């Protein structure tokens, strides 16, 4: 069985930047998991003494706090600044952009529509930048727009890791019903590249292994995309979850990885699959 990596996979610019920032601030705490990969978080804890604060109650006044790649709500950032914590912002610039757009467009009187998962930390941060919270709405499906009290002017942004074709459905639905629609495509280019590469490989592969955090939106999207063309597609966090039966009778094993998956985890998976072939 041949093993082939997708032409684009793994760490994106924002994740690489966040990890570098965390490594430069040994002994600090991240507010929320820095990225959606528990193995990399454990590496930072063991090698750089990076702690984890799950809530503001876990942060002392003298703590240095690294803001996670997904960002945090605006009011929580204000609390940290008021406490005089040393705040190190590792928010991905691609996440900062929709935050700024939401703030600016809501100040100009636009209703805000955010395409994304309301429970995702990125979206919780983005929506908090709306000047009037009652005029900001989070949707995942176009039919959710029907009952929303939107004004005639709407500004639309997307979670950085959503599928472009799904974003387009929201765009089309708004254009048909609203007088003015400002569309800001805030989906990350790295997401496009990883998704396209995974889709191309899945069309040829007999089995696809997608590596990444089970809570990672972009990794789950990759798995969904692979599943469309390769039924035997599996989402794992590390090599310990591999099942030898997945590879029986297969000729080509494709591998992709989410934007929060480090190369060393990918290599561990490859090594384990190679050992299964012997």
> Is 12 annotated in some ligand binding site?
yes
Quote the CA–CA distance of 206 and 201 in Å, as a whole number: 10
For the entire predicted model, the pTM comes to: 0.83
> Would you state the pLDDT for residue 71?
97
Cα three-residue angle 199-202-205, rounded to 5 degrees: 160
Two tokens, residue 145: 């727009």
Q: Confirm whether 23 is a catalytic residue.
A: no
Catalytic residue among 40, 122, 237, 239: 122
> Is 253 annotated in some ligand binding site?
no
Residues 6+ apart with CB under 8 A from 243: 234
> Would you state the pLDDT for residue 241?
97
Indicate the SS3 state at residue 211: strand
> Is 216 annotated in some ligand binding site?
yes
CA distances from 262 to 41, 118, 238, 243 (A): 11, 27, 11, 21
DSSP line for 61-87: TT-EEEEPTT---HHHHHHHHHTT-EE
> Would you state the pLDDT for residue 34?
94
CA count, 13 A, side-chain hemisphere, 21: 22
Q: 164-213, pLDDT tens digit by residue?
A: 899 999 999 999 999 999 999 999 888 889 999 999 999 999 999 999 98
Name the residue among 221, 231, 225, 115 with its Cα closest to residue 174: 115
> Would you state the pLDDT for residue 191?
80
Torsion angle of alpha carbons 116, 159, 136, 110, nearest 10°? Answer: -130
> Is 75 annotated in some ligand binding site?
no
Sign for the pseudo-dihedral over CA of 214, 94, 135, 54: positive
> Is 92 annotated in some ligand binding site?
yes
> Would you state the pLDDT for residue 84?
85
| Residue ranges in the chain whose pLDDT is less than 70 | 278
> Is 223 annotated in some ligand binding site?
no
> Would you state the pLDDT for residue 104?
98
Which domains does the chain carry? Answer: 2-9+190-277 (3.40.1010.20), 13-92 (3.40.50.11270), 94-183 (3.40.1010.20)
């Amino acid at each position: 069985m041949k093993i082939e990596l997708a032409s684009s996979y793994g760490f994106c610019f924002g994740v690489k930047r966040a990890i570098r920032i965390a490594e430069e601030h040994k002994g600090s705490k991240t507010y929320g998991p820095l990225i959606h990969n528990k193995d990399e978080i454990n590496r930072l804890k063991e090698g750089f003494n990076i702690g984890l604060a799950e809530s503001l109650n876990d942060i002392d006044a003298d703590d240095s706090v690294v803001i996670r790649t997904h960002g945090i709500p605006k009011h929580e950032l204000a609390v940290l600044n008021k406490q005089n914590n040393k705040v190190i912002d590792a928010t991905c610039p691609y996440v900062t952009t929709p935050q700024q757009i939401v703030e600016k467009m809501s100040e100009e009187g636009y209703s805000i529509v955010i395409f994304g998962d309301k429970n995702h930390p990125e979206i919780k941060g983005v929506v908090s930048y709306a000047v009037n919270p009652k005029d900001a709405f989070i949707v995942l499906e176009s039919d959710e727009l029907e009952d929303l009290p939107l004004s005639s002017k709407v500004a639309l942004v997307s979670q950085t890791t959503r599928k472009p074709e799904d974003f387009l459905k929201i765009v089309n639905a708004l254009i048909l019903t609203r007088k003015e629609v400002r569309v800001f495509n805030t989906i990350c280019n790295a997401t496009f590249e990883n998704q396209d590469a995974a889709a191309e490989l899945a069309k040829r592969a007999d089995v696809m292994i997608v590596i990444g955090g089970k809570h990672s939106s972009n990794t789950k999207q990759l798995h969904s995309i692979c599943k469309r063309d390769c039924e035997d597609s599996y989402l794992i966090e590390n090599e310990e979850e591999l099942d030898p039966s997945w590879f029986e009778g297969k000729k080509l094993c494709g591998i992709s990885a989410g934007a929060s998956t480090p190369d060393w985890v990918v290599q561990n998976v490859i090594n384990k699959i190679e050992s299964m072939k012997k």
